[in-house]
Amino acid sequence: MVYTLNLAPTRPGLIEITDRVRGVVSESGMSSGLCTLFLQHTSASLLIQENADPAVCRDLEAWLNRCVTEGDSIFTHTSEGLDDMPAHVKSALLPASLSIPVSENELMLGTWQGIFLFEHRRLPRERSLLVHLTFDEDPKLSL
């Protein structure tokens, strides 16, 4: 089964979406299986990262922005602004899909793990995230 989550980030950076994904898994009635996430965009990414200390996200954002800088003279693709090509490079370096096992209707994330949309553009854009659930048994759907 495939569901679409429409995400509306309000800023660039890491935005936790764990609860949104958990909601889809919970409502599906899935006991066990696999949750695959696929982001349908080329200027944003997905990550599983620590969600306990916000400094981790700030440091990752700062590091990536230092590695891929806006206004670098190497970039010629700037039709949507100075952050256009850097967003594509960041997206090429980071994943657009994740797979997370599900057991007893719960994502099998580690204690400090959360699921994050990594928005690489400055202007807010709606993002479409496909949530594909592969059941080990027949689902008890209530969606």
pLDDT per residue, tens digit, the chain (143 aa), is 999 999 998 899 999 999 999 999 999 999 999 999 999 999 999 999 999 999 999 999 999 999 999 999 999 999 999 999 999 999 999 999 999 999 999 999 999 999 999 999 998 789 999 999 999 865 555 55
State pTM to two decimals: 0.92
Domain boundary assignment for the chain: 2-135
Burial class of residue 117, CB neighbours in 10 A (0-12, 13-18, 19+): buried
The span from the CA of 89 to the CA of 87, in Å, is 5
Task: Give the pLDDT of residue 124.
Answer: 79
Q: What is the CATH number of domain 2-135?
A: 2.60.120.460
Closest among 131, 110, 115, 119 to 91, alpha carbons compared: 119
Task: Give the pLDDT of residue 136.
Answer: 84
Task: Give the pLDDT of residue 104.
Answer: 94
Which amino acid appears at position 102 of this protein? V
Task: Give the pLDDT of residue 105.
Answer: 95
